[in-house]
Structures are given as C-alpha cells and as structure tokens.
Chains A and B, each alone.
Chain A
Amino acid sequence: MPPIIQIQDLHKSFGDNAVLKGINLDIEEGTTLVVLGGSGSGKTVLMKHMIGLLKPDRGRVLVEGQDIVPLDGEELARVRKKFGMVFQAAALFDSMTVYENVAFPLREHAKLKESEIREKVKEKLAIVGLRNVESKYPADLSGGMRKRVGLARAIILDPKIVLYDEPTTGLDPITTDYVDEMILDAKRELGVTSVVISHDIASAFKVADRIAFLSQGHIVEQGPPEQLRRSEEPAVKAFLSTWFGKQ
C-alpha cells in the first residue's frame, strides 16, 4: 500500500524567508510520525501544507495518492474530511461554548440527533480528561484545558489522519501522559495515522513509529526512534543531548 501522505520536494518561502527547502517525507497508513525541530524551524508550516492551509512554492503533497496542491473549494474540502487538526494555540471558536465547539464538526458533517451529539461530545471530552466544562466559553479555560478541547474537537468525527501541533506543550506531566496514551490508543484501536509536532522528547519517543527532524529547511534525519538516538547529525545530537544527556 502506498503511504497515506507523501510530501515530495516541498519548497516554501515567506518573502525572502525560505522556510522549507525541499522536504521529502512519506507517512505510512496507521503509523505515528513525530516531527521534531527547533522553534521557528518550520514544523507548523510543514503541517499546514499537509491539509492545504498553505500552498507550496514548489513540490507536491499527496494524500492517499491524490495531489492536493492544485485543489481548492469543494475538492479540497472532501480531502479535509479525512483529517482532524489540533492547532498549536487551540484555535477554538471563542463565540461558542466548549460543547458547541466540540459538536461543531458533527453538526456540519454528520446528520445526528441532539441526544447522539451530546453522547459523542461527552465521550470525547472524557477521553481528553475534561468534565463539566461543556457550558464554559474558551476564554474561561486555562491554556491546557483549551488545548484538550481542541483535541476533542479534532477527533470528534473519528478521522483517519490526525495532525497534532504540539498537543502536550503546556500540559502537566499526567495529562501529557494521558494525551500520549490517547494517540497510541487511536492507532491501536482505530488504525489512525497521526502526525505529531512535539518539543517533548520523552513523549516523542513514546508515541513515535518514526521521527523526522527538521532543521534549516531540510529533514536532516528520519527513521525509527532508535535510529534518531544514534544519529551523527550535529543538529539532532545537540537537540537530543539536552534530554538524554541528563539521563
């Protein structure tokens, strides 16, 4: 089976700031890829290309074999229904309650009765460890709670592919562990493909089947976690030594 997401020779600049300079990356169905890299290395930009929020200057992005770069409107929307995305800053709709936020994709894309919607929302909020927040507005939540509401919203339609932009940054260690388990469960039980951007090396090594390391606009190393750990690439070594050095 071909990889579910294939990125080929992807280039992207903002003005004269060349962020991605020829990215090649394959993501196999039902696996978890973690993208590591320093702050500002272009991880978020790379992820936004996978779901068509940004258009590359050059290169292709194939989702289940279909190049999504030239798509827009209806066709792009059809591809996007396969995805759930967790934004780095949650991006909750601040005019809606938590309940309405999580229910939003259901109301838009699934014909369900209100009681079924209520059931599902409750279930997903429980998965991310939230209770009794349904009637609150995002502004009344802590950053970590907002992030978890964003997680619940991303998985409410049980998408095939979930993109997590730093799902655990700002969460306490117990909740972090909880989210890691959730990503692993989704893979084991539902065969979900996950792409996770992370700064947390422990989480990364726990959930990843493969890790890709982004630096200076290139993927300088990619492979299973053990391979990364043995990497001779200076940027990777420096990044990992901050954590493994202490072990």
Chain B
Amino acid sequence: MATDAEKSPEAAPDEPNTFVEGVENVGRGVINSISSFGGMATLAWEILRWSVRPPYRLQNLFAQLDFVGVGSIFIVCLTGTFTGMVFAQQSSRAFELFGAESLVGPTVALTITRELAPVFTALMVTMRAGSAMCTELGTMRVTEQVDALETMAVSPVQYLLVPRVLAGLIMVPMLTMLFDTSGMVGGFFVSVTLKGMSAGTWLARTQTWLDPEDIFEGLIKAAVFGFAVSLISCYRGFNASGGAKGVGKATTEAMVGSALAIFILDYFVGVILH
C-alpha cells in the first residue's frame, strides 16, 4: 500500500511532476481505503443481518470452524510454545540483573495473555485461513460461481460469507486460549528446566499477578481480530475481478489489510478497555 507512493527509479530523471504524482498516489490510496472501509462496513451489516435469518446452514459453519479452528491448532501451539520460550529466555536475562527472576513467570503470563496471544494467533489465522478464504471466494467470483448461486436464489452472503466470518469470530478466541496455554508451558519449561528456577515460585507468582481480566482482555481482542481479518479476507475475495491476476491482487490486499487491522485495532481495543 505504502509502496504506491514510492517512485520507480526510471521515472525520476526529467520528470518535474514526481511530487504531484506522489501526492496523487497518496490521495488515491486514501480514497481507496476510505471507500473499501465503507464497503466493508456495509458488508459487515449484511453479514449480521443474514446470520440471524433462516435457513441456518450448520454444515457450512462446522466446515469453516473445522478449517479455521481445528486446522490451526498445530501452528498455534507451535508458535505459542516458542513465543513463551523466547520470552522467558529474554526476560530472565534482564531480570537476573536485578535479582528479580521470580517475576519472569508473571511477565511471560501477562504479556502473552494480553498482547502476544491474540495478535500472533490472529496473524497465524490470517496467513493460514484468511488467505485461503480470499483466494477461494475470489476464484468463485471470477468463475461466476457467485453469480450462479445468486441465480439459484441463494444469497452468497449468507451461504459463503456468514459461516466464514462467524468461524473467525469464534475460533480466534479459542485458538488464543490455546496460545495462552502453550505459551505459558513454554515459558515454564525454559524458566524451570533450563534456568533452574523453582517451579513452585514460578506458579505461585504467576497466579498472584495474573487476573482473569487479563485473559479476558486478550480474548476480547481476539474476537475483534477474528471478526476483522475474516471480514477483510472475505470482502477482498468477494469483490475480486479480473481473472487469476485479480485474485492474486485481492489476496495480497487482504493479507496486508488484515495485518494492519490487527495492529491498529490492538491499540484501540486496548485504549477502549481501560
């Protein structure tokens, strides 16, 4: 997105208008994001309306829950464990300087539950499931399968988008809990087995410092991220045009947009919750 504003080197020499063009590009980018934001808001509203209307296609929903959720268990556990391990490793080195190693457990637990778990889980789901949603819907759009659904008097929003966005909304928090757990197991393992801390102290300190609200805050974030990334991926795929190339472009936009949305929303949800 930002690369739009960068000028290609060969255009530079005798072009007096690069500045104007740069401004134009930025302007176009801004207009694009505003109009797609409007489109997404409208689509979100449509999805909401269709999700409460019969028929409820539970089979489609379960297929997506399985794909988004169950399919991501392995990579979420893996990233969770290693994040916990790295975090314990780094923070214990820092805390050793002050002789405050007993704070490693709470530090790991708080950072993971409140920040890292929802953000990393949402990023993993974006890469694994969001990209697949976007390319699948995009392909269906450019090969007229979406039109075919419409001619058969079936709402594509209800049939295709509702289960995907609901799956994102439900499964990202679930996976975040898994990330929480595996992250703490990883942190515990490094602290106790490799750094020789006392298991009892680690657990006791963590228990004292970690409130249910911290976990809950992480889960709220996760739900917001899950909704946002599946909405963005669906929106981009659903509005793809221009054959295979268009689907590729839509997927790139979906990935960049979802990643940006996660970091931006992370800040704002954090502010709102406090």
In the complex, A78 Cα to B136 Cα: how many Å? Answer: 28
- Specify which chain A residues have a CB less than 8 angstroms from the CB of B136 in the assembled complex: 95
Task: Kindly state the separation between the CA atoms of A93 and B148 in the bound complex, as whole angstroms.
Answer: 9
Instruction: Write the nearest CB–CB distance from A73 to chain B, whole angstroms.
Output: 8
Q: Which residues of A contact B145 (CB under 8 A)?
A: 91-94
Binds A, one of B89-97, B149-157, B179-187, B203-211: B149-157
For A85, give its contact among B143, B148, B155 (CB under 8 Å). Answer: B148
B 112-157 contacts with A by CB, 8 A: 136, 139-140, 143-145, 147-148, 150-155
Asked if residues B151 and A53 are in contact (CB atoms below 8 Å), the reply is: yes
A104 at the interface (CB under 8 A from B): yes
Contact with B along A105-122 (1 / 0, CB 8 A): 100110000000000000
Contact A87 B153 (CB under 8 A): no
Output the nearest chain A residue to B139 by Cβ-Cβ distance: A94
The interface bits of chain A over 28-67 (1 if a CB of B lies within 8 angstroms of the residue's CB, else 0) are 0000000000000000000010010100000000000000
Roughly how many angstroms separate A221 CA and B145 CA in the complex, as a whole number?
33
A89 at the A/B interface (Cβ < 8 Å)? Answer: yes
Interface string of B66-90 (1 = CB under 8 A from A): 0000000000000000000000000
CB atoms of A80 and B152 under 8 A apart: yes
Chain B residues within 8 Å of A73, by CB:
155
Q: Which residue of B lies closest to A104 (CB)?
A: B152
Set B144, B152, B154: member contacting A89, Cβ < 8 A = B144
Chain B residue at minimum C-beta to C-beta distance from A73: B155
A78–B148 CB distance below 8 A: no
The answer to whether B147 touches A53 (Cβ under 8 A) is yes
A202 within 8 Å of B (CB atoms): no
Instruction: Give complex CA distance A109, B153 in Å.
Output: 9
Instruction: Report chain A residues within 8 Å CB of B140.
Output: 93
**Interchain CB contact under 8 A, B143 and A91:** yes
Over the window 8-42 of chain A, the binary record of Cβ atoms lying under 8 Å from chain B Cβ atoms (1 yes, 0 no) is: 00000000000000000000000000000000000
Contact assessment for B152 and A51 in the assembled complex, using a CB-CB cutoff below 8 Å: no
Contact of B148 among A81, A87, A108 (CB under 8 A): A87
Q: How close is B103's CB to chain A, nearest CB, in angstroms?
A: 51
Asked whether A81 lies within 8 Å of B143 as measured between CB atoms, the reply is no
Please determine whether A51 and B151 come into contact, CB atoms closer than 8 angstroms: yes
A77 at the interface (CB under 8 A from B): yes
Q: How distant is the Cα of A91 from the Cα of B141 in the complex, in angstroms?
A: 10
In the bound complex, residues from chain A placing their C-beta under 8 Å from that of B151 are 51, 53, 80, 83-85
B155's contact among A77, A87, A109, by CB below 8 Å, is which?
A: A77
- Inter-chain CA distance A68–B205, complex, in Å, is 68
Specify which chain B residues have a CB less than 8 angstroms from the CB of A108 in the assembled complex: 152-154
- Interface set, chain B 43-87, CB cutoff 8 A to A: none
Q: How far is the CB of B21 from chain A (nearest CB, A)?
A: 23
Which residues of A come within 8 Å of B, CB atoms? 48, 51, 53, 73, 77-78, 80-81, 83-85, 87, 89, 91-95, 104-105, 108-109
Closest CB pairs A-B (n = 5): A77-B153, A91-B148, A91-B144, A80-B153, A85-B151
Q: Give 25 pairs: A residue, B residue, CB < 8 Å, sorted on A.
A: A51-B151, A53-B147, A73-B155, A80-B150, A80-B151, A81-B153, A87-B148, A89-B143, A91-B143, A91-B144, A91-B145, A91-B147, A91-B148, A93-B140, A93-B145, A93-B148, A94-B139, A94-B143, A95-B136, A105-B152, A108-B152, A108-B153, A108-B154, A109-B152, A109-B153
